Structure 1
């Protein structure tokens, strides 16, 4: 069997040991079934939350050091980029539905870094083997010979690290395949008519987090251009394949419809027949340089931003409808028009650029508007680089970010 045929996501879920994938901010990016079973948690209770918010330390036990030791180990991995195998740890866990009540639990943890092309830690593989019953049995049968048990468990953890290394290599291979597929399907920066757009795509930092963000540009009759961005729900190869289908379908629909609303209507009908396309968001704008107007329509997507020459930022949110495939029956989508002056800038983007967990979306939109105003007068390429530098987290985003900028 070739490596490309392996379902790495299924392998990850089938691993017998508990595994968490953590961002450099120690936010849980992914979890496998074994860890969910051992901790009595459901997936939605963990994903997107800080590790130590989900698993706090027992405040009533003065000898509880598991959280502090684990945090120190993870910080060593981030600082050195090297694997850290921990000694046996007591880390009590709250049973489901009983907050504030802690069960005595023992774990053998290993923390391994996943490095990016720049050599920085982009993801931490946190592998734990629960040994609570072994510790209890050893205490009963060996008079509490804890040191000998810890030594045995340390060697066991070293053997388990081979599984961690294989897992990291598997994630790296899947990430490479997904990114190559996305790069092949997304259009390269080019002139559309006599206008040039600056485009950027930044993948998520996690190997399993690469998503289905996309953009598209098309020249239309007259001095007009169609520009769109979209975001497919899901991750990995499936999301990337759906992205390619929807991008191609919208590009074709744009050439035979009368505006962005009709193009998104056609795309929505098509999306119903594509597995995994449900709830995809997309927005399209058609720029007409002859009339100095642009028409736009949104299928549940974040509003494009129009930076006027006087520094004012207008969010184009007057023609927003539900995501693709959200309605069981066909309903005409709304469309709005807005005038622009020479020198204005149109910005389309996906949520990875501005959204942050535990933060209201309006905060991210305000951050985008402030960055646009600060760089008033910059050319499209310079502005695109500035927005990525200022808006994306220094350690990388946990969601993809696509960006299109056109100076009007």
Structure 2
């Protein structure tokens, strides 16, 4: 039971269609009664067992592909979080009363992801409709109809197999692009060099289960007068294109921050540059300049989430006093705002991207409160320890569904 008063386990058992719950490792977590009667199996033969140990492809049919197609669909749903209604499949089932005897069966499967509160896929809802009798009935409608039926079925199976092959080729192509984009991203986001007596920690976590990396980036640049510019940003899009745009924006802002009068002017320059870069529209960035001698942070934001200033006493201040639209969002140039915050020695500056705080079906303020609570709890920790603690508190156990960049600067 839950707060609604509905016994959802009873609802699951009473569903009129065969339904199974699988883990993302394709192990049966539960099945309803109709699934048991349709497959001719007992619950103990299914729950806790790997799907394809229970239902392998017919070893006597070298052309059997139904189970292989089903596995590809289920793993795609687990990776992408998107529902998949499969084409009609033939996969034979071994008669439980006659080992080695395989019965021809036809199925129409639909696979749906089940998410937890963090937006991670934790279960797969596998619903099947058996249409064996319908196929057989069509084959019995007479010689002419039967011949036509067999031709149509053969075409259907051929097209379904072709579609599954195309999907697999696309998956492999995406996987190759993912690896290349990750390598490119790593090359363009090097670890920060020594900052003298200053301490900094940088973390970058690619999204788990995604076929493409995103365009998150960061930068640290030492300025004249012993100051430090620290930036973080996010490009709309995925894959190689986003990684390439990210590299261009990062380099441009790194250069602009060294010659501009302050963060606002540097972001103005970056915004003008972004208009000439395809794919840079609506990218976000946050830039702060740390003046160690004056104990001040000067900052400006182009549509990015606010950095957090963790004070020595554990108080958390979000730097949201100079927020403006994303890069290239305005049709005409307008001066960007800039603000300053004071700090005392022992504080920490924390910059991050949305993968750290955004969760599906959750208001962003909830994620920001979660971040503030984690920072307050671990205040006083050195940057490396603080970065690890924040990630442990905020990133789901199975990994985030979006890339995450995190920079912690000891002040």
Q: TM-score, normalised by structure 1?
A: 0.69
2:83 and 2:271 mapped to 1: Cα distance? 40
Note if contact 1:83-1:111 (Cα within 8 Å) is conserved in structure 2: no
Q: Deviations over 1:109-132 (max 9, x none)?
A: 6134999xxxxx866897653237
**Residue 81 to residue 316, structure 1, CA distance change in 2 (3 Å):** farther
**Residue 84 to residue 207, structure 1, CA distance change in 2 (3 Å):** farther
Residue 257, structure 1, aligned to residue 260, structure 2: yes
Residue 76, structure 1, aligned to residue 79, structure 2: no
**Residue 365 to residue 320, structure 1, CA distance change in 2 (3 Å):** same
> Any gaps of 5 or more consecutive residues in structure 1?
1-57, 88-106, 116-120
1:390 to 385, 390, 393: 393
2:271 and 2:28 mapped to 1: Cα distance? 43
Report how far residue 74 of structure 1 moved: 5.1
2:138 and 2:330 mapped to 1: Cα distance? 62
Q: Where do 1:16-31 residues align within 5 Å?
A: none
1:63 matched to which residue of 2?
16
**Residue 406 to residue 114, structure 1, CA distance change in 2 (3 Å):** farther
Residue 141, structure 1, aligned to residue 139, structure 2: yes
**Secondary structure of the residue that 1:72 maps to in structure 2?**
strand
1:317 to 320, 334, 351: 320
**Secondary structure of the residue that 2:266 maps to in structure 1?**
helix
Report how far residue 209 of structure 1 moved: 3.7
Q: Where do 1:269-308 residues align within 5 Å?
A: 269-308=272-311
Q: Deviations over 1:296-324 (max 9, x none)?
A: 00000000000000100000000000000
Report how far residue 385 of structure 1 moved: 1.0
**Residue 78 to residue 180, structure 1, CA distance change in 2 (3 Å):** farther
Note if contact 2:221-2:229 (Cα within 8 Å) is conserved in structure 1: yes
1:12 matched to which residue of 2?
none
Note if contact 2:87-2:160 (Cα within 8 Å) is conserved in structure 1: no
Note if contact 2:287-2:301 (Cα within 8 Å) is conserved in structure 1: yes
Residue 345, structure 1, aligned to residue 348, structure 2: yes
Q: Where do 1:188-203 residues align within 5 Å?
A: 188-203=191-206
Note if contact 2:174-2:212 (Cα within 8 Å) is conserved in structure 1: no
Residue 171, structure 1, aligned to residue 128, structure 2: no
**Secondary structure of the residue that 1:338 maps to in structure 2?**
strand
Q: Deviations over 1:144-193 (max 9, x none)?
A: x9xxx9xx999998897665654443332111101000000013132234
1:237 to 235, 240, 248: 240
2:49 and 2:172 mapped to 1: Cα distance? 15
2:363 to 360, 363, 371: 360
> Any gaps of 5 or more consecutive residues in structure 2?
1-10, 30-47, 56-66, 89-107, 109-130
Please report the RMSD computed on the Cα atoms of aligned residues, expressed in angstroms.
3.7
**Residue 139 to residue 212, structure 1, CA distance change in 2 (3 Å):** same
1:47 matched to which residue of 2?
none
**Residue 137 to residue 81, structure 1, CA distance change in 2 (3 Å):** closer
**Residue 209 to residue 222, structure 1, CA distance change in 2 (3 Å):** same
Note if contact 2:308-2:350 (Cα within 8 Å) is conserved in structure 1: yes
Note if contact 2:289-2:297 (Cα within 8 Å) is conserved in structure 1: yes
2:330 and 2:273 mapped to 1: Cα distance? 13
Residue 129, structure 1, aligned to residue 86, structure 2: yes
Report how far residue 338 of structure 1 moved: 0.6
2:187 and 2:217 mapped to 1: Cα distance? 12
**Secondary structure of the residue that 2:362 maps to in structure 1?**
coil
